[in-house]
Amino acid sequence: MTITLHAAALRTLFVERATAKFARNVPDFVALQKLVADNGGTFRNDHGAIRSADPAVTALFLRAAQVLGLRRELDYRFPAKRLVSCDLQVIGEDASQFKIFVSQVDLGAFPDEIAALIRDDCARQARAVDHGPFVALIERFERRGGLSEAEAEAFVEHFVDRLMARNGPPLERSTLEAVAHLSGEAASALALGPDFNHVTIDVRAAAFDDIEAMAAAMQQAGFRMLPEIQGARGTKLRQTATMAATQDTPVVETDGTLGVAPTEKQFVEIIERNQAVDADGHPLWQQDGRPLIFRNFLAANAEKIFDAASTRAGAIRVRA
């Protein structure tokens, strides 16, 4: 008997695979999972986030996310970061459902010569991978509303290991430096590729009373944190994050040799979601009388969270 996996089951497989990949690359995440377990809590991934430099990759990501039951809902703009963003949601009243925050490098916000460098790197990445079989699986889901177990495995594997990756040659140092002078966040997007630059632990699922308590426990355990919690006590969305560790990223030097550049790419966020309010500040409730928990994002908060992974031009040095 053939088993068909629908959006919810596919989303579970995707979150498991993408989170495991993130854990392999981010020691802070593994350490934080232990802190949560020691506190008697459970890990619940509120959302992951990507930054993409290639509009074609972003478009394919959004289409593939619909196979997971995640639909584009709200848009956000960050002119100072030269990014435009949107959230992907399971539409409804359940704020505990996994979400993705997608940011696209705003190519129109860069001088033409720097935008051309970004497009050139994106083209080299695109030539190194064939998304054709992946698109065929998306089309199959769009016709049938589900995938077989084998198809689901192939879909999730390609999504996590191919679409959410740099597949081509290393980034040119000159491109990284040029972009970093204008946007450290866009530079980090180029360095990492469209992989999760962070995942997010729900504070209350982790058995902490509030975000202050969890942030204090993290600082005591030695985590490097952003200087402030975003969102005042009692407001609908409160966030903070670790600072991304500096990692060596392979780059191509001007003479064609391979070098490394220090970049900031991945970090862990913690989040406290509270009752949503309407435009006039009145509290909102679910159909069953429980508080309606805010499930979207706030641009003012996200602007500060971006600072956790920002590759600055002054740090990109040619190593002897």
pLDDT in tens, 256-292: 999 999 999 999 999 999 999 999 999 999 999 999 9
Give the Cβ contact number of residue 300 at 10 Å: 11
In percent, the amount of the chain with pLDDT more than 70 equals 97
Q: Are 89 and 65 in contact (CB under 8 A)?
A: no
Averaged pLDDT of the chain: 95
pTM for the model stands at: 0.95
Taking a C-beta distance cutoff of 8 angstroms, is the pair 267, 274 a contact? no
Residue 194: pLDDT band (50, 70, 90) is very high
pLDDT score at 213: 97
Residue 313: what pLDDT?
61
pLDDT band per the 50, 70, 90 thresholds, residue 319: very low
pLDDT class of 320 with cuts at 50, 70, 90: very low
Other Cβ atoms less than 10 A from the Cβ of 187: the count is: 32
- pLDDT number for residue 312: 74
CATH level 3 topology of 4-310? 2,3-Dihydroxybiphenyl 1,2-Dioxygenase; domain 1 (3.10.180)
Residue 153 burial (10 A CB sphere; 0-12, 13-18, 19+)? middle
- Residue 269 has a pLDDT of 97
Q: How many angstroms separate the Cα of 313 from the Cα of each of 2, 174, 177, 229?
A: 53, 10, 5, 26
pLDDT tens digits, residue range 39-72? 999 999 999 999 999 999 999 999 999 999 999 9
Phi, psi of 171 (to 5 degrees): -65, 145
Domain ranges in the chain? 4-310
Give yes or no for residue 2 having a pLDDT over 90: no
Give the per-residue pLDDT at 93. 97
Q: Say what the alpha-carbon torsion angle 121, 310, 44, 273 is, to the nearest 10 degrees.
A: -120
| Mean predicted confidence (pLDDT) in 95-110 | 98
Tell me which amino acid residue 11 is: R
